[in-house]
Amino acid sequence: MCAAPSTSEPFSLAQRAAEELVRRTGAAPEVAVVLGSGWGAAAQAFGAAEVEFPMAEIPGFVGPTVPGHHGTLRSLQVGGRQVLVLLGRVHLYEGRSPAQVVHAVRMAVIAGARVVVLTNAAGGLDPGFRPGQVVLVRDHVNLTGASPLSGEEPPAAYRSRFVDLTDLYASRQREVARSIDGSLAEGVYAALRGPHYETPAEVAMLRLAGADLVGMSTALEAIAVRHLGASVLGISLVTNLAAGVSPAPLDHAEVLAVGAAAVPGLGRLLADLLPRL
């Protein structure tokens, strides 16, 4: 397994990873998509991979440890656009650093991607949401206590760490998604560290804070992508109603089961969407 990124060199390591990615795939990505828990099989709707290999073969990657995250990179053409599919991600709750959590998306943007689609499995805080529903992320509340821009100032070739996050989840990209499916709802995603699910009191607090969705990913990746100047489209799959909203106990197996049931629709949506971003 390749070495993990240290706090002193995440950008140089992402640059090395990007160079190796382009060498291995023979093409710079135009769009990158991160497929979260339960979303992996949706990639079948994109068509056959031109090149596919384990993430761990690229500098700086560590493998996911969570069921539903495969740790694979796939490069292919979708509707004439060169797309990089990241099947799986790593999380803070796995003991990973913020630099490790965002390494994949940093690599993708440095390699050429101008739009990054971040998908996730999320708990629904809005009682009007239902398991299996797809929701566009309008904004987020980062409650992980972490940032990918903490630590040393980024190298001179990159923007300052003080990044404006207005319209972080680009309104233009959300409009493109709604032009494909006008029924798509929007919501605010609350990112927590996990891995435990939230208590009913925490869910009540999040609802008061204006959150509609809750999960354990996405926010740090979105910040890192925006810092590098690319656009972000966030898409959540509501896999369960959150504690205090749901009448039943929460279970990760339920997350994967709902994701599996929603795969055909998710795949079709993304296959239509990616060439238009």
94 classed as catalytic: yes
Say which of 75, 97, 217, 236 is annotated catalytic. Answer: 217
1 classed as catalytic: no
Say which of 142, 185, 252, 260 is annotated catalytic. Answer: 252
Say which of 14, 32, 91, 246 is annotated catalytic. Answer: 91
Say which of 231, 236, 240, 246 is annotated catalytic. Answer: 240
Cα four-point dihedral sign 115, 121, 125, 130: positive
Say which of 17, 43, 94, 191 is annotated catalytic. Answer: 94
254 classed as catalytic: no
Say which of 17, 32, 37, 122 is annotated catalytic. Answer: 37
| Cα–Cα distance measured from residue 55 to residue 253, given in angstroms and rounded to the nearest whole number | 24
Phi-psi map region of 93: left, alpha, beta (phi>0 left; psi -120 to 50 alpha): alpha
Phi/psi of residue 31, nearest 5 degrees: -135, 140
91 classed as catalytic: yes
Helix (H, G, I), strand (E, B), or coil: what is residue 222? helix
217 classed as catalytic: yes
107 classed as catalytic: no
| Cα–Cα distance measured from residue 50 to residue 206, given in angstroms and rounded to the nearest whole number | 42
Other CB atoms within 10 Å distance of the CB of residue 78: 21
Say which of 9, 28, 49, 93 is annotated catalytic. Answer: 93
Say which of 216, 222, 243, 271 is annotated catalytic. Answer: 216
| Cα–Cα distance measured from residue 213 to residue 125, given in angstroms and rounded to the nearest whole number | 5
Say which of 69, 70, 140, 227 is annotated catalytic. Answer: 69
CA 16 to each of CA 44, 126, 160, 190: distance values in angstroms, whole numbers, following the listed order: 29, 42, 21, 32
* Catalytic site positions: 37, 69, 91, 93-94, 121, 216-217, 240, 252
